[in-house]
Amino acid sequence: MKNYVKYLIPFLLLLSLVIDGQLSTLFINLTPGIIYISSYLLLILGLFSVLYVPTFYNVAMFTIIGFLYDIYYLNVLGVFVILFPLVIYLIDYFYQSLKFKRVTNHIILLVVVFVVEFGAFLFARLFELTNLSMFIFVVYSLVPTLVFNSLLLVMLQPVLEKFFIYHK
């Protein structure tokens, strides 16, 4: 991979951090009732960066991004500082035994988004930041988030493949 792309990836991650918040707010305002959709463009970029950037560098980047995510969105430090590096290790583990294909990317994204959303929900319940029931969380937050991020991956995967494979 060309050297400048390693320096470009952190800026792409920071940009996706801001875009994720804007997309999530947009879809919360557009959807009826209590449906809550979270955008995880950050994790979609993580799927590709794991293939081309060393694991230690990725974990360090996603730890910093998790720290910024916690400060910017939650005002509670620790939830995404733990979840994002864990998810990067999980993606790296999956890619050690699976080939890079569109279908495997899709399945890995679903698993990773589930782990992040469910982990954040468990942390929120543990620290009494929410009192949502499991049913309400799954129906009104988890399922719409999984569907939205699946569609986002389908739309962005050709562009990201060209960017990352071209710069390999």
Per the structure, the complete domain to which residue 28 belongs is given by 3-166
First CA to last CA distance, the chain:
4
- Say how far apart CA 41 and CA 156 lie, in whole Å: 9
| Average of per-residue pLDDT across 90-115 | 93
Number of domains in the chain: 1
Tens digit of each residue's pLDDT (9 = 90 or more) over 139-164:
999 999 999 999 999 999 999 988 87
Vertex 13 angle, CA 52 and 70, to 5°: 125
What's the confidence (pLDDT) of residue 168?
55
What's the confidence (pLDDT) of residue 127?
87
pTM assigned to the model? 0.92
- Residue 75, pLDDT above cutoff 90: no
- Confidence grade of residue 3 (pLDDT, cut at 50, 70, 90): low
98 SS3 class: coil
- Say how far apart CA 85 and CA 98 lie, in whole Å: 20
**Could you say which DSSP state residue 142 is in?**
I
- Residue 114, pLDDT above cutoff 80: yes
Tens digit of each residue's pLDDT (9 = 90 or more) over 27-60:
989 988 789 999 999 999 999 999 888 899 999 9
| Average of per-residue pLDDT across 70-89 | 92
- Confidence grade of residue 2 (pLDDT, cut at 50, 70, 90): low
What's the confidence (pLDDT) of residue 166?
57
Which residue shows structure tokens 């790296």? 92
Task: Quote the tokens at residue 49.
Answer: 């960066």
